[in-house]
């Protein structure tokens, strides 16, 4: 097996690229910048040479569908998203897409246009198309689970802040995109300073895409053009050359989610704390004192959830649902007050087909998240949950002061 640099090889011009030959397969790794017209032209020229039988792109099925199907967002099932706990993932994807659109407006080039050109070129040329990147949802979940409480807070705050930031994207973020990794640039400096985030967003994806390329070769590809961000070029080539373990187990490992604790310690502690506080109140002053302590808990958490829902622009019945559910849901590890309130909001103010069609554009600016009924359901979920969480801490502090 060998690696070579060949300037001008098969229409690649002066674009960064590496060639790895392994097991009878020639892999041409074309490193692109996700905001470069030159990268788009290099991809189109390379595909047009007719040398390749397979085109591999740094996309997963979800992002490929979003690029090629303009109606993809109109097919979302809001209730299924809420039921399956995917609200945060959908909101994160929309926030990243909003950042992407600001780049497109500022630079005149749609980020990832070269990946789309590779996919379209493969289809038009009758070539085999392989999507080699890991599902973005798994990447985000692995990154999230690898972070501590403070790291998760920073990540969520960073994504939320991107919606309220100035429309102009800073030059240092653009420079990162010229190195060719959209996810890394989207998290800014936090990615560079957070080993768990870097591991999930960059290093693991290098291994994943190398294993996928080896699968592509085993399935019959002999001349493979892989279009990937330039930031992945070195790591991808190293894994493609050196990894000897079978690709299937590697992919299964990298597609799995780290096991989370099966014991809901916080919920158990909260229940014990409330029961203990009630018992102490009864012991000190009878049922009147104990009942008063529980009433303080219920009222503070209920008001917190209701205020969050109100700020989200919730319907009066959604606010009522938040008020009623907020004292109870913290005691159940698998249920959130935001889920209850958002479900009521989606049921009463049913999003229209037009809301789904406008979703991508409306979420490009923070005001659109309140204007669009689909996005407002997501905002309802987050702000109601945030209000309830704040109520839990305030109520807990009050109970401790009484104890």
Q: What is the DSSP string of 293-341?
A: HHHHHHHHHHHHHHHHHHHTT--HHHHHHHHHHTTTGGGSTT--HHHHH
pLDDT of residue 156 exceeding 70, the answer is: no
Report long-range pairs for 150-155 (Cβ below 8 Å, ≥24 apart): 151/194, 151/196, 151/197, 154/190, 155/187, 155/190, 155/197
Structure confidence by residue, pLDDT tens digits, 1-13: 444 444 444 556 5
Q: Do the beta carbons of residue 318 and residue 375 sit within 8 Å?
A: no
Q: What is the DSSP letter of 73?
A: G
Q: Strand, helix or coil at 268? A: helix
| pLDDT bucket at 312, cuts 50 / 70 / 90 | very high
Q: Do the beta carbons of residue 231 and residue 258 sit within 8 Å?
A: no
In angstroms, the CA 392 to CA 327 distance is 8
Instruction: Give the lowest-confidence range in 77-91, 170-184, 235-249, 371-385.
Output: 170-184
pLDDT of residue 7: 43
Mean pLDDT of the chain: 79
pLDDT of residue 171: 54
pLDDT of residue 361: 76
Per-residue pLDDT averaged across 317-334, rounded?
89
pLDDT of residue 157 exceeding 80, the answer is: no
If one counts every other C-beta atom within 10 angstroms of the C-beta of residue 358, the result is 19
Please report, rounded to a whole number, the percentage of residues in the chain having pLDDT higher than 70: 72
pTM here is 0.69
pLDDT of residue 159: 62
Per-residue pLDDT averaged across 74-87, rounded?
72
Please report, rounded to a whole number, the percentage of residues in the chain having pLDDT higher than 90: 29
Per-residue pLDDT averaged across 114-130, rounded?
91
Per-residue pLDDT averaged across 112-133, rounded?
90
pLDDT of residue 200 exceeding 80, the answer is: no
Instruction: Give the lowest-confidence range in 34-38, 61-65, 200-204.
Output: 34-38
Q: Strand, helix or coil at 228? A: strand
Q: Do the beta carbons of residue 111 and residue 184 sit within 8 Å?
A: no
Per-residue pLDDT averaged across 200-208, rounded?
87
**Tokens 């907020």 label which residue?**
326
Residue with the bigger pLDDT between 108 and 162: it is 108
pLDDT of residue 100 exceeding 70, the answer is: no
Residue with the bigger pLDDT between 74 and 307: it is 307
Return the ∠ at Cα 88 (arms to 180 and 272), rounded to 5°.
Answer: 135
pLDDT of residue 127 exceeding 90, the answer is: yes
The sign of the dihedral angle between the CA atoms of 176, 177, 180, 184 is positive
Q: Where are the domains of the chain?
A: 2-255, 265-402
């Amino acid at each position: 097996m060998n690696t070579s640099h060949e300037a001008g090889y098969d229409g690649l011009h002066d674009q960064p690229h590496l060639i790895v030959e392994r097991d009878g397969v020639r892999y041409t790794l074309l490193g692109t910048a996700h905001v470069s017209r030159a990268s788009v032209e290099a991809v189109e020229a390379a595909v047009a040479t007719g040398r390749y039988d397979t085109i591999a792109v740094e996309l997963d099925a979800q992002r490929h569908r979003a690029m090629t199907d303009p109606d993809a967002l109109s097919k979302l099932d809001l209730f299924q998203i809420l039921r399956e706990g995917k609200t945060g993932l959908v909101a994160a994807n929309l926030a990243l897409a909003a950042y992407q659109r600001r780049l497109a407006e500022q630079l005149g080039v749609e980020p990832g246009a070269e990946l789309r050109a590779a996919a379209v070129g493969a289809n038009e040329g009758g070539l085999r198309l392989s999507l080699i990147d890991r599902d973005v949802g798994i990447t985000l979940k692995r990154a999230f689970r690898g972070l501590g409480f403070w790291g998760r807070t920073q990540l969520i705050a960073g994504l939320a802040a991107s919606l309220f930031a100035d429309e102009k994207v800073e030059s240092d973020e653009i420079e990162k995109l010229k190195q060719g990794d959209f996810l890394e640039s989207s998290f800014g400096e936090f990615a560079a300073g957070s080993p768990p985030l870097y591991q999930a967003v960059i290093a693991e994806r290098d291994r994943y895409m190398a294993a996928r390329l080896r699968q592509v070769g085993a399935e019959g590809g002999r001349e493979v053009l892989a279009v990937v961000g330039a930031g992945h070029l070195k790591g991808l080539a190293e894994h493609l050359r050196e990894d000897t373990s079978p690709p299937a187990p590697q992919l299964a490992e990298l597609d799995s989610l780290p096991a989370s604790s099966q014991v809901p310690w916080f919920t158990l502690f909260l229940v014990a704390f409330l029961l203990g506080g009630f018992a102490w109140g009864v012991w000190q002053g009878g049922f009147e004192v104990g009942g008063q302590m529980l009433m303080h808990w219920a009222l503070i958490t209920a008001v917190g959830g209701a205020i969050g829902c109100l700020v989200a622009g919730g319907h009066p019945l959604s606010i009522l649902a938040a008020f009623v559910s907020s004292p109870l849901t913290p005691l159940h590890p698998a249920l959130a007050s935001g889920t209850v309130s958002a479900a009521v909001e989606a049921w009463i103010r049913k999003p229209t087909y037009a809301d789904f069609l406008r979703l991508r554009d409306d979420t490009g600016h923070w005001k659109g998240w309140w204007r669009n009924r689909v996005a407002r359901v997501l905002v309802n979920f987050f702000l109601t949950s945030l209000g309830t969480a704040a109520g839990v801490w305030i109520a807990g502090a009050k109970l401790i002061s009484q104890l």
